[in-house]
Amino acid sequence: MAVIKIENLRKDYKDVRAVDGISLEIGEGELFSLLGVNGAGKTTTVKMLATLTEPTGGDAWIFGHSIRDGKNEIREIADISMQETAVARKLTVGENIDFYAKLSGLDAKHREERKKFVSDVFGLDQVKNKQTQKLSGGWQRKLSIALALVSQPKVLFLDEPTLGLDVISRRELWKTISSLKGKITIILTTHYMEEAEALSDRIGVMKDGALLFVGTKEEMFAFTGKTNVEEAFVHIVSGGEYSA
């Protein structure tokens, strides 16, 4: 069943069309990756779905709530982890989790359950008394994603979650994100092809605001005649010009 429905979604910034009338449906528990070069419109799409940016045209519904007039309802059921790490710098890891749990309005019993859940999933217990600003980039990113899960969202937007991380931290985060598959509907944007290949149920390829392809990686290979996501992506985006 589709829990995210996007219809002809469009966003214009002055003379630039950042998102050009995309339509898409995403099922419950699905991990959908949006791929694209810089300026393709991935982050703008995610920001519109997360109700951070008003669309210029079209609409999208998340669990039946419109991103235009159902912002408050969507904010109750969705959360986002952005490209930039968004944590309280001088609070400890434990205090950050507690802070988000209280802000999300959970009662005391559920707060404790959620705190334990995110600490277990992300292995945060070992750093819970450390001040966030003293953590490595990898740990900060882990915490940032963990905080998005504290409120028990039904939909999670991950905007380039592993940007700037070393290869080991990235693999660790993949493992954590994989463990969430099927439980939460996730839309992930990334520049890393191997990330999309390892994690996604389906992949969407964007260029100049338009959605050029949507399908599983197998369908992507069949569509392009390639055998890995990177080659298939390059083929789609360049119209075959840069294909190996």
Partner 1 sequence: MRRSFSRIMTLAGRNEKEILRDPLSLIFMLALPLFMEIVFYAVFHKLTPQFEMKYLAPGIVVFSEAFLSLFAGMLIALDRASAFLTRLFVSGTRAYEFIFSYALSLVPIAFVQTAVFYLVGGIIDRSIFGVGMIWGILLSVVTSLLFIGLGIFFGSVCNEKSVGGVSSIVIMCQSVLSGMWFPVEGLSGGMITFMKCLPFKNATDLMQNALNGVTDPATDIIKPLLIVLAYTVVAFIAAIICFKKKMKA
- Give the binding site for partner 1 (CB under 8 A): 50-52, 72, 75-76, 78-91, 95, 99-100, 102-105, 131, 147-148, 151
Report the chain's C-alpha Rg in angstroms: 18
Q: Are 188 and 34 spatial neighbours (Cβ–Cβ below 8 Å)? A: yes
Which is closer to partner 1, CB of 42 or CB of 202?
42
Residue 88 C-beta: closest distance to partner 1, Å: 6
Q: How far is the CB of 15 from partner 1 (least distance, A)?
A: 18
Nearer to partner 1, 147 or 196 (CB): 147
Per DSSP, helices labelled H in the chain are: 42-49, 71-77, 93-103, 108-122, 137-150, 167-180, 193-199, 217-224, 229-238
Smallest gap from residue 238 Cβ to partner 1 (A): 32
Smallest separation (angstroms) from partner 1 to the CB of 128: 16
Residue 87 or 211: the one with the smaller Cβ distance to partner 1 is: 87
SS (H, E, C) 37-89: CCCCCHHHHHHHHCCCCCCCEEEEEECCEECCCCHHHHHHHEEEECCCCCCCC
Whichever of 88 and 210 has its CB closer to partner 1, that residue is 88
